Structure 1
Amino acid sequence: MRQTRIFATFRRSWRLLRSFRFEQTRPDIFYGGLAEDTADLVTALGRDYGVGLDGARVLDVGGGPGYFAAAFARRGARYFGLEPDAGEMSAAGIKLANSVRGDGTRLPFADDAFDVVYSSNVAEHIAEPWRMADEMVRVTRPGGLVIVSYTVWLGPFGGHETGLWQHYVGGEFARDRYTRIHGRQPKNVFGSSLFAVSAKEGLRWARAHNAWVFPRYHPRWAWWITRVPGLREFLTSNLVIVVRA
């Protein structure tokens, strides 16, 4: 996986880490940068697996308000977004021609419909993430790519906006503490729109699909973390699973 390893530099990791502080206050900065990084990552993976983006049909499962569309369009892809929440779809005021409201665990598409199907930071927000992953495989053509990237619960960002340590006490504690301090529930409500998804679960699904896994935001020299049980749960902030359909 030479191209993906070349892409995974410390400089990139540092840039992404610095952008996390804008997720809630300036989502255009955070998600705009994340969209470009995601498109670059998928491009690198495509080169390693022989799946080019130019002219490819790309499905973004849980695409939200559409920050990722322009990034993929600039690389020649035919972008399609799927999002279950109508409010989320319109949150940024981005208008998309190929945006569908639907459920990731029951994708409203035919078998083998896309060349690349990916989800970025979605699995931790649904109760049945591996059902969604199975659906992603179903709608990907033979030889295409399925890419599942999700936030590991025990990693430093598992609690999302509720804090860096509070979720280690418990998801309910982090949720309720945030509500007391801010006078409102967090955007990501534990037990409803945020769930404790482990690295172990992802690796189990990956083994069943002969997938390649690596920590998304780490430089390549730190990828060994995913091979160490226990440690990987705390140090893998985001796990990427890549399946050749």
Structure 2
Amino acid sequence: MPSKLPQTAALATLARSWRLLRSFRFEQTRPDIFYGGLAADTAALVGALAADHGLGLHGARVLDVGGGPGYFAAAFAARGADYFGVEPDASEMTAAGITLAGAVRGDGTALPFATGTFDITYSSNVVEHVARPWDMAQEMLRVTRPGGLVIISYTVWLGPFGGHETGLWQHYLGGEFARDRYARKHGRAPKNVFGQSLFAVSAREGLEWAARHRARTFPRYHPSWAWWVTRVPLLREFFTSNLVIVTKKHRQG
């Protein structure tokens, strides 16, 4: 797999993996640190994937599905992209106090854009928050132009971060258990409520969708020499952590 995505593989170093792993502890307490670093990494990843598919970010119309409060906009603008974000939750859009000219409120499973509008459509850590994630994936394909790129990156349920802020092991005893335990411990519901805004999405589901759309896959936070883990059934569910799916839209896509 690394030889097929040379620029992306070059980005996937052990130092990068360690840096991202360390940043996860700031997701709830210092979202500016966590999402700022993740935004920069996402822009670099999308840029590398675009280059590996004969595309570029400079001047490209990029749609971020589930873009949240806008941390990613500056990172893409710095690379010359024409960035647009779509987010269903109005409170999430304003959470960081960032104003975006290209922000649109909308549902990822019914994107409010014409067919073939964007050069690159991506979502970062959104699939696990959508009740019908593969409907969203199909919509992402629809709004991407032929020859354009669709990139999906999501947290695998059985990986260590599948339960999000509810803990590293609690979700292995069930999403409801993890949710209720968090509420008892903190006196409030978690931000990501299992069954409402957090769902159990497997690596297998993503790989099956990828196979139908001639997509490439790899684990986002692994160094490139560990990308083989996605090829091993069962093992990939626990050790992939985050699965990337990337496909160039064909004219029949």
Residue of 235, 241, 247 corresponding to 1:243: 247
Question: Does residue 1:85 correspond to 2:85, yes or no?
Answer: no
Residue 150 of structure 2 is aligned with which of 146, 152, 165? 146
**Cα shift at 1:30:** 0.2
Which digits, 9 at most, give the CA deviation of each residue in 1:147-204, with x for residues without a partner?
0000000000000000000000000000000000000000000000000000000000
Paired with 1:126 and 1:118, the residues of 2 have a C-alpha distance of: 15
Partner of 1:161: 165
- The whole-number CA distance in structure 2 between the counterparts of 1:185 and 1:177 is 9
Distance in 2, matches of 1:48 and 1:204, equals 22
Instruction: Map 1:193-204; keep pairs closer than 5 Å.
Output: 193-204=197-208
Cα separation, 1, equivalents of 2:70 and 2:247: 24
**1:104 counterpart SS class:** coil
Superposition pairs for residues 53-132 of structure 1, below 5 Å?
A: 53-132=57-136
Query: 3-state DSSP class of the match of 2:185?
Result: helix
Unaligned runs of 5+ in 1: none
Deviation at 1:51, TM superposition (A): 1.1
Q: Hey, what does 1:31 align to over in structure 2?
A: 35
Q: In the alignment, residue 2 of structure 1 is paired with which amino acid?
A: P
2:24 match: secondary structure: helix
Match of 1:7 among 8, 11, 27: 11
| Number of equivalent positions | 245
Specify the alignment match of 1:219 in structure 2. 223
> Which amino acid counterpart does residue 176 of structure 1 have in structure 2?
D
1:40 and 1:178 map into 2 onto residues whose CA distance is 34
Identify the residue that residue 234 of structure 1 maps to in structure 2. Answer: 238
Question: Deviations along 1:58-85, whole A, 9 cap, x unmatched?
Answer: 0000000000000000000000000000
Q: Does 2:181 match 1:177?
A: yes
Q: Please give the alpha-carbon distance, in whole angstroms, between the structure 1 residues aligned to 2:53 and 2:148.
A: 9
TM-score (structure 1 length as normaliser): 1.00
Gaps (5+ residues) in structure 2? Answer: none
After superposition, give the CA deviation of every residue in 1:106-135 in whole Å (9 maximum; x if it has no partner). 000001000000000000001000000000
Over aligned residues, Cα RMSD in angstroms?
0.3
For 1:9 and 1:181, the matched residues in 2 are separated by 37
CA separation in 2, counterparts of 1:160 and 1:45?
26
The amino acid of 2:169's aligned partner reads: W
Paired amino acid for 2:27: E
Letter aligned with residue 75 of structure 1: R
Q: Distance in 2 between matches of 1:7 and 1:226?
A: 18
2:21 equivalent among 17, 20, 23: 17
Rounded Cα–Cα distance in structure 2 between residues aligned with 1:236 and 1:190: 21
Indicate the SS of the match to 1:68.
Answer: helix
Give the counterpart letter for 2:134 in structure 1. Answer: W
